[in-house]
C-alpha cells in the first residue's frame, strides 16, 4: 500500500510537469499571436495614414488572406481594423509592450473598445494579468466602472492596518458594488449574508481573487459563550484571516467594540502559526467619513469601514464625476503655482 501511494505521488509530479508545459506553450503561442496582430496593425496603420489604403483595400486584404491561408482564422476585415486600432492605442507607450503579450485577444478587444484614456487601459491590463481574469470577469469590472471607482475612492486605510499589512491598500476598497445579489432596497443582514454566500464567485471577483472563503456565521467560543462572525475569509496575499461584520444601516462607532472583540478571539484561538494578525471589516450601507475617522483614531485593532451598494452605478455617471475630479485637481494646481 505504501509503495502504491509513493508511486501515485511520483506520477502526480509527472502530471504536474505536463500541465505546466502545456500552460507555458499556450502562453507562448498567445504572446506570438498578440505580437503578430500588433505588427499587422502597424502595417495597416502606416498604409492608411499615407493614404495608400482605404477601407476597400483592407477588405481586399481579408479576401486575399482567406484565399492564401484557408486554414487560418481571425483575419476578417473587421478584425484587421481592430488590429490597427490595437496598434494605435499603444504605439506611444512602448513600456506596455510586455504587458500586452500577457493577455488574450478577446480581453484586449474589451479594453480598447470600452476604455478611453491610456491610464484606464493600463489599469485594466495590469488588473487582468494580476487577477487572471477571464474575458467575462474583465468585462464585468470594466462595466462596473472599477477604474473610476478606484480613482474617486476616498479610501484611507488606517495607519495601524498598513503597519501590520503594508499591502492592505491594494487589497481593500472603500466601496463595494454588490449588484449581483439582486437585493431589494429593504433587506435584512441575513438576506445580505445569504446572498453573498450564494454568489461567492461574484463576491470574490468584486473583492479580489486572493480571498478564500472560510465560513458563514463562523462560531468562536469565549468563556462559556458562543459568538458568531457573519463572514470569515482568508486573504492569501496578506496571509491573514479577514472577518466581515455586515450592517444594513449607517456606520455607528459602537460597532467597533464588537469587531475588536472578535478580532482578539480570532487571533488568540483561530489564527495559525505563521499567519499575520487578522483584519476586521465593517461592511455597512453607508458611512460618514468624519465619524469613521473619529472612531478609528484611537482604535487599537486592524479594522476598516467600507460601504456596499446594491445597484451598479452607471458608468457615464462615474465618468462625469471623474472628469469633474480632474478639473478640480487642475484648478487647485493652478492656484498653487
Q: How far apart are CA 121 and CA 316, in angstroms?
A: 17
Q: What angle do CA 229, 231, 237 make, to 5 degrees?
A: 120
Q: Is it the case that residue 126 has pLDDT exceeding 80?
A: yes
More confident residue, 330 or 244: 244
Helix (H) or strand (E) holding 256: helix 255-265
pLDDT of residue 219: 96
pLDDT of residue 82: 95
Q: Is it the case that residue 42 has pLDDT exceeding 60?
A: yes
Question: Is the pTM value of this prediction over 0.85?
Answer: no
% pLDDT > 90, the chain: 53
Residues 6+ apart with CB under 8 A from 264: 301
Q: Is it the case that residue 318 has pLDDT exceeding 80?
A: no
Sheet containing 276-286: order of strands: 175-177, 303-309, 276-286, 240-250, 225-235, 211-222
Q: How far apart are CA 299 and CA 260, in angstroms?
A: 9
What are the residue ranges spanned by the domains of the chain? Answer: 1-91, 92-143, 160-315
In the chain, how many H helices and how many E strands? 15, 6
Q: What is the mean pLDDT of residues 258-264?
A: 95
Taking CA atoms, 249 is separated from 180, 220, 253, 284, in Å, by 20, 25, 12, 6
Contact 120, 93 (CB under 8 A): no
Q: Does domain 160-315 have CATH number 1.10.10.410?
A: no
Amino acid at each position: 500500500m505504501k509503495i502504491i501511494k509513493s508511486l501515485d505521488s511520483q506520477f502526480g509530479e509527472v502530471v504536474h510537469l505536463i500541465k505546466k508545459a502545456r500552460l507555458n506553450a499556450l502562453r507562448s503561442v498567445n504572446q506570438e499571436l498578440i505580437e503578430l496582430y500588433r505588427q499587422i496593425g502597424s502595417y495597416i496603420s502606416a498604409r492608411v495614414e499615407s493614404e495608400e489604403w482605404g477601407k476597400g483595400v483592407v477588405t481586399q486584404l481579408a479576401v486575399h488572406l482567406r484565399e492564401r491561408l484557408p486554414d487560418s482564422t481571425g483575419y476578417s476585415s473587421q478584425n484587421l481594423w481592430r488590429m490597427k486600432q490595437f496598434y494605435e492605442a499603444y504605439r506611444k507607450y512602448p513600456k506596455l509592450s510586455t504587458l500586452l503579450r500577457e493577455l488574450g485577444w478577446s480581453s484586449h478587444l474589451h479594453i480598447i473598445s470600452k476604455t478611453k484614456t491610456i491610464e484606464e487601459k493600463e489599469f485594466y491590463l495590469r488588473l487582468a494579468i494580476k487577477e487572471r481574469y477571464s474575458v467575462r470577469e474583465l468585462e464585468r469590472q470594466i462595466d462596473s466602472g472599477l477604474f473610476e471607482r478606484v480613482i474617486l475612492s476616498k479610501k484611507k486605510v488606517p495607519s495601524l492596518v498598513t503597519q501590520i499589512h503594508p499591502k492592505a491598500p491594494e487589497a481593500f476598497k472603500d466601496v463595494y458594488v454588490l449588484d449581483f445579489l439582486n437585493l431589494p432596497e429593504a433587506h435584512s443582514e441575513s438576506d445580505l449574508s445569504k446572498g453573498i454566500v450564494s454568489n461567492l464567485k461574484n463576491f470574490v471577483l468584486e473583492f479580489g481573487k486572493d480571498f478564500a472563503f472560510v465560513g458563514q456565521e463562523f462560531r468562536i467560543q469565549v468563556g462559556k459563550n458562543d459568538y458568531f462572525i457573519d463572514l470569515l475569509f482568508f486573504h492569501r496575499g496578506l496571509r491573514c484571516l479577514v472577518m466581515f461584520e455586515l450592517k444594513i444601516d449607517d456606520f455607528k462607532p459602537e460597532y467597533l467594540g464588537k469587531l475588536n472583540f472578535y478580532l482578539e478571539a480570532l487571533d488568540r484561538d483561530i489564527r495559525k502559526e505563521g499567519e499575520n494578525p487578522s483584519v476586521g471589516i465593517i461592511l455597512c450601507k453607508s458611512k460618514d467619513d468624519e465619524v469613521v475617522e473619529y472612531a478609528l483614531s484611537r482604535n487599537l485593532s486592524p479594522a476598516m469601514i467600507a460601504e456596499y451598494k446594491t445597484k451598479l452605478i452607471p458608468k457615464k455617471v462615474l465618468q462625469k464625476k471623474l472628469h469633474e475630479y480632474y478639473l478640480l485637481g487642475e484648478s487647485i494646481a493652478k492656484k498653487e503655482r
